[in-house]
């Protein structure tokens, strides 16, 4: 298996000579096998372990196990503790999503602190199969169905070629000890349901069914690369740039020229081109469908994403960026109750009561009033801005947070920050509050901010 491991790394150039990696080491069989293979391949790495405090003493046992393994093998070990349930509740997201966001944000923060090159995670072929079915159930297109890639930025997956069975056999043959997570056998989360119910039934359909799925995923990944390259070339041919306005003539996507009578295939092609053009500027599928259907009859109609505006013309679509003064600032005094421009915030101050319930909506910031310094200010982000994302210890560059959250350049320019009088970021409006201003058991007075609407 070590030869296959090394060949896969070389094939995709996952770890070049002299590069160093942060290994996500949970203590489970997958990450322990990856650690063993990295040691045998003489890759320079440190171990990073997340204690999410979701399984009581088992979580602490995992941490102790990882620390002991690292010490025995001369590997530097870093451990971070998270209040995962609280983070999930306060941000209105699932436990799974909260844990994912927290660990990847910390891995990247640690990688930058150490000036390391890669983050190694132990995803394998069966994880790939599970991800395929998750995305299939969510109605994903080619981009989602192709699954995980061997490398995504600094994140590498050196075990993506290996099945769970291969990993287990290697662990037994090489006397590798690991920690068993009992929740993997529980069909509570969607991934576990697919792992424990769907995939075993899938295997019964015919011999080598899963191997066929692995090959299909490889084909989808290759075809996606080709599709993206051809799409980029096609859009460069048909989209015209006129100053600050992009123009897409109807004739170039065949809609106006052939009309709906030609058949659904042509219409699907036309819509897909439109969608792929507009999605990169923040427009979702429903908006693109509205725009597509309005092209014949909705002359003058306008549609907005958070960053751009589309105008329906007689013979073309016109796309332009929503203009905003990057230096605009809005001051909020202690007694104000509403802010209407450029965004609508409803503000209120009240005493904390015993029946207080945390609002999970991302459009609501619930803050400890006594930690705030007035006047507050609404402004856009600046290079060098840092804050303490809720649920994380320490600060993080806001630009790195944007990367983690997959913000586009346009979205970064449009996002608003609520900051205190000493310019400390309190809330990335509509996304995440700063951990320093969160409500705690000692909080007496609440300051609530609710995002009502965006004025476009």
Sketch the domain layout of the chain as residue ranges. 2-219, 239-321, 329-454
φ/ψ of residue 441, rounded to 5: -60, -30
What is the pLDDT, as a whole number, of residue 257? 36
Q: How far apart are CA 14 and CA 10, in angstroms?
A: 7
Buried b (16+ CB within 10 A) or exposed e, 335-355: eeeebeeebebebeeeebeee
Do β-strands 396-397 and 417-419 pair in parallel, antiparallel, or remain unpaired?
A: unpaired
In CATH, 329-454 is 3.40.190.10: no
Could you name the CATH architecture of 2-219? 3-Layer(aba) Sandwich (3.40)
Q: Confidence band (pLDDT; 50, 70, 90) for 124?
A: very high
φ/ψ of residue 372, rounded to 5: -90, 145
Q: Looking at residue 307, what DSSP letter applies?
A: S
How confident is the model over 396-423, as pLDDT tens digits? 999 889 988 888 776 787 789 999 999 9
Q: Is the pLDDT of residue 258 over 60?
A: no
- Whole-structure pTM value: 0.60
- Computed over every residue of the chain, the mean pLDDT equals 87
Say yes or no: do domains 2-219 and 329-454 share a fold. no
Q: Is the pLDDT of residue 456 over 60?
A: no
Q: How far apart are CA 411 and CA 297, in angstroms?
A: 30
| Beta carbons within 8 Å of 130's beta carbon, 6+ residues apart | 191, 194, 195, 199
Q: Is the pLDDT of residue 266 over 70?
A: no
What is the pLDDT, as a whole number, of residue 372? 95
How confident is the model over 180-217, as pLDDT tens digits? 876 666 666 788 889 889 989 998 999 888 889 888 98
What is the pLDDT, as a whole number, of residue 254? 59
Q: Confidence band (pLDDT; 50, 70, 90) for 255?
A: very low
* Strand order from edge to edge, sheet including 155-156: 77-81, 44-51, 20-24, 118-120, 155-156, 151-152
Mean pLDDT of 138-161: 89
């Amino acid at each position: 298996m070590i030869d296959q491991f090394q060949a896969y790394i070389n094939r995709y150039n996952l770890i070049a000579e002299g590069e160093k990696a942060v290994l996500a080491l949970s203590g489970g069989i997958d990450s322990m096998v990856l650690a063993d293979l990295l040691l045998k391949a003489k890759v320079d790495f440190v171990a990073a372990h997340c204690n999410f405090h979701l399984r009581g003493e088992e979580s602490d046992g995992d941490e102790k196990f990882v620390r002991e393994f690292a010490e025995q093998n001369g590997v530097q070990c870093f451990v971070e503790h998270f209040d995962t349930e609280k983070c999930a509740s306060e941000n209105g997201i699932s436990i799974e999503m909260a844990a994912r966001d927290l660990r990847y944000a910390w891995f990247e923060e640690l990688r930058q602190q150490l000036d390391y090159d890669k983050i190694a995670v132990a995803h394998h072929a069966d994880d790939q199969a599970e991800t395929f079915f998750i995305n299939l159930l969510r109605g994903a297109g080619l981009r989602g169905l192709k699954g995980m890639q061997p490398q995504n930025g600094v994140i590498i997956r050196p075990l993506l070629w290996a099945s769970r069975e291969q990993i287990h056999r290697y662990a037994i043959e090489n006397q590798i000890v690991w920690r068993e997570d009992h929740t993997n056998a529980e069909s509570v989360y969607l991934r576990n349901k697919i792992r424990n119910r769907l995939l075993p039934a899938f295997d019964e359909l015919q011999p080598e069914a899963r191997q066929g799925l692995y090959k299909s995923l490889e084909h989808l990944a290759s075809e996606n690369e080709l599709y993206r390259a051809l799409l980029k070339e096609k859009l460069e041919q048909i989209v015209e740039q006129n100053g600050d306005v992009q123009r897409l003539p109807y004739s170039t996507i065949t809609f106006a020229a052939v009309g709906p009578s030609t058949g659904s295939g042509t219409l699907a092609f036309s819509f897909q081109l439109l969608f792929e053009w507009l999605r990169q500027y923040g427009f979702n599928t429903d908006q693109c469908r509205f725009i597509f259907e309005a092209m014949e009859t909705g002359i003058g109609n306008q549609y907005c994403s958070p960053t751009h505006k589309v105008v329906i013309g007689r013979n073309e679509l016109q796309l332009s960026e929503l203009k905003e003064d990057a230096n605009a600032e809005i001051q909020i005094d202690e007694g104000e109750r509403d802010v209407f421009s450029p965004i609508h915030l409803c503000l209120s101050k009240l005493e904390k009561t015993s029946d207080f319930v945390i609002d999970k909506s991302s459009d609501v910031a619930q803050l400890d009033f006594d930690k705030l310094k007035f006047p507050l200010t609404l402004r856009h982000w600046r290079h060098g801005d840092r804050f303490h994302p809720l649920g994380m210890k320490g600060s993080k560059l806001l630009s790195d947070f944007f990367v983690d959250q997959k913000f586009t350049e346009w979205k970064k320019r449009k996002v608003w920050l609520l900051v205190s009088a000493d310019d400390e970021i309190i809330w990335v409006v509509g996304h995440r509050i700063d951990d320093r201003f969160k409500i705690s058991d000692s909080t007496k007075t609440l300051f609530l901010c609710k995002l009502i609407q965006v004025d476009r």
